[in-house]
Structure 1
Amino acid sequence: MAYGAPDGSGGSGQLTEDAAEARVAKRCFRTGPPRRVGVELEWLVHDRDDPRRALSAERLTGAVARLEAPGGLPGGSSLTREPGGQLELSSAPAGSLGGCLASVATDLDVLRQAVGTSGLRLVGRGVDDVRPLGRVLDHPRYRAMESFFARSGPWGRVMMCATASVQVSLDSGDGTGGTSGFRLRWELAHRLGPVLVAAFANSPFWRGRPSGWRSTRQAVWARLDPGRTRTPRGGDPRTAWARYALDAELMCLRRTGADWAAPPGLSFRAWLRDPRGERPPTAEDLDYHLSTLFPPVRPRGWLELRMIDAQAGDGWIVPTAVAAALLDDPLAADAALAATESLAPPGELPATAVWLRAARLGPAAPELGKAVRACFAAAEAALARARVPAGVRDAVARFAERYADRGRCPADDLLDTVRRSTATAHRKETQ
């Protein structure tokens, strides 16, 4: 799903502070009845025979270049590359969950065949703890991003080059006060965030060893610039987001040439007030700045849920279906609000500590496990009411039986495999 045409404030004219706040609020929370659904699938890419082999830009280009062209994928998805060579498959907005899942599945089959022909394979996991850490793409944006995050440690580079997610996109909602209204959908999306982190945690390793987190990916995000990765706080979501966006530091400043590094400590609001020798910012600069903000729920004219670890195989279908059901079905939304009462007081969003607990323990944390089970039950009922294809409902039911109902997540399977291997090796050593 992509930004629509600019609104009436103009793409290249100089901005005032008031105009900037108004533009953010208008563009990022477009209202209307919730109807559309989309999903973005990020995939790690490994050499099929040697997962530890470094990936070159040339090899990746040879594998997927023809699919990146307009119309390159039959289902209408677009394909882009992330800094570390991850591939992102982004659906077109669909009028139904079933339509979205079907079109993405078609395009994913084509993508898998293309990378397989090149001796590569797609890996669905939240963190790549196997392949050497390094940036594959060389672009001024990514150079500036790497430099920005490097000021506070190595984790920005890890996020850029070694993480992958399932990102579900749903309409912002209408102007009513019910579960279809954008204010309550904003609250519910955030309250569901830790539930989705816990249920689908799938990255328990770093550098080949257990990290102590079920979702190491979420732990990495927690170590980054909080002004662009944490949840916006306070009041009406439009006002809170506009304030958050303008107060965030510039990650990069587009210029002619290769150097897009922004002056350290310069927020977009400060740039509006005093350019510090740079050109004055435009509406187009503001739109670009919004693309460098990465909170767990990002408003882009719709709500982009960014907190879910990448899933193995076709496991991406389950979080997409569950998230869509819980936000778009009124009965399921009410049930989800009730199920998440212990995670945040009414009208408030979960604290950072709740997100961290979800990332560390997954559904083994009692209050999160209870919420996960209740939300899956509500989602299954909603999917049945919507007459979603039986294969989708079966996939959600199997996941619930294997994981949610047992207080487990995909990360636990990965950890069990390591524990069994360690126990076997120990037995052999002592025989």
Structure 2
Amino acid sequence: MHIGRIILILGLFCYSMVQAQESMIADVKIQGNKKLKTGFILKIAKVKPGAVLDSALIEEDIKRLKRLPSVSHAYYQVFYSQNNAYNVFYNIEENFTIIPSVNVYTSNNDEFAYRLGLYEFNFLGRNITLGGYYQKDNFSSYGLNFRAPYLFSRKAGIAINVQDLNTREPVFFDETTADYRYQNKSLEVLGLYEFNFKHSIAFGGSLFNENYSYITGATNTAIPQQLDIDKHALKFIYEYNNLDYNYQCVTGFKSIFNGQYVGVNGNSQLPEFFIGWNDFLYFKKLGVRGNWANRLRVGLSSNADSPFSPFAVDNNLNIRGVGNTIDRGTGAIVLNTEYRYTLLEKDWFVMQSNTFIDAGSWRNPGGEFGDFGDADNIRINPGLGLRFIHKSIFNAIFRIDYGFGITKNDASGFVFGIGQYF
């Protein structure tokens, strides 16, 4: 027999022996799910019948399941079947997913605003988010949201957002302030794509109309009292997500980059601009009951000297207790750090204390990077809060925080809401 044929036969024999010794998956079975469809779970799972038994892939599937709004907890079991094959069981503890959302924020300047919403986070049992909100912030606003990240495949989906936002916004110029009514009507469509367990993107665009109407305050002939502008935007979002959830405790790192180009349709009063920011989130478990949570946002936009700059200093966005849109800029650096401590845990209920520091600084419109170090632009608000958590209802975290203003001209106030602040 030719030596080459002998080597080939020996090689095939060795390969077949290795394959025979590998543990295989006979079947993947789903238990405990009621509303979440078994077919959907099998669709997004990487572990498949007939594949090699791989504990790393199973662990990845469990992490993915625990990220779903419809799942409060998940774990797996492996049982021997026959002929060196095993059955893999995914055990699901479901969340209740029809959730109201409530955000209320005040300051010692007697400002009061709120947002009420209702969302279904597991529409049709397929991890589709559908819902909307009503907001009262001097004026009435509403929004409708649809997000189906796995609509087309285990990697591809779509998001559609419609809103009519109306607020009373301060506009800052010449060391004075004027109040405008700001209205934004928009339609946004995004394609969603998941490269793998940790990396995903969203890309698309929106058409929207912005309207600014002068209400009261200082005036300047260079600052228009009425603007009505049609705009379009292109958006790209990249997310790295390596977070792991164990009920109320979160560990790991997450990074989200959001970049946008905003163009103006046939109006030269406001220029086109670019804006981008990145949120870095880091969570660490400290002891049995502690959870350290951090968010750092770094953002820049085109540096036009305009009173209508995109980055805002706001109670409900970045600095708790500071007030509702007290300043604007063309750049932002914001750090939120907090220590969450479980005071009480009984079956479905958890009560956490929260000790936090929110700190940030902004670049003035048309300003320099040195503005970030200007004492007039720095805000630091430490504070205390409580969390009341239902472990079997998605995002059922009622939070109340009080932020103390300790920097120049700072306000203090309460911030109420549903869900963790970040």
TM-score, structure 1 normalization: 0.23
Structure with greater proportional strand content? 2
Higher-Rg structure is 2
Higher relative contact order (CA 8 A, sep 6+): 1
